[in-house]
Amino acid sequence: YKAHYLPVIPINPKADEIEGLLVVNSLSEIPQVDSTVSVSVITPPVVTSKVVSEAIRLGIKNLWLQPGSESPEAVALAIASGVNVISGGPCILVSGEVSLRDSKL
């Protein structure tokens, strides 16, 4: 994300800094959370379900579940809650330019 000059806030309960960026512990700690926030999820599936639940609670409407983070339950929960979900595709962090261009961000 940084390489494409996209705004990013890393979230990790066990780190203070990632790639020179200050880290928050959870979605709830993002300074401004609203329906325009998009979240790229890069967690194990069991953690992804918790992230999806928190996103729904906060009103986040856009989730990109990176390969390896998806679970059928998390995807179903997000869709049932009216969240836009991208899953089952390439990792934007690996595919880079092609995925970014195709996503029309």
pTM, full prediction: 0.79
pLDDT tens, 88-103? 877 766 676 676 667 6
Could you give the CA distance from residue 16 to residue 62 in angstroms, rounded to a whole number? 25
Contact indicator for 65, 48 with CB cutoff of 8 Å: yes
Determine the longest span between alpha carbons in the chain, in angstroms: 36
pLDDT at 8 over 80: yes
Instruction: Check residue 6 and give its pLDDT.
Output: 75
Distance of CA 101 to the CA centre of its chain: 18
Contact indicator for 52, 26 with CB cutoff of 8 Å: no
Confidence of residue 4 (pLDDT cuts 50, 70, 90): low
Whether the CA torsion 29, 33, 37, 39 is positive or negative: it is: positive
pLDDT tens, 13-70? 899 999 898 999 999 998 888 777 889 898 999 999 999 999 999 999 999 999 999 9
Give the number of other CB atoms < 10 A from CB of residue 4. 11
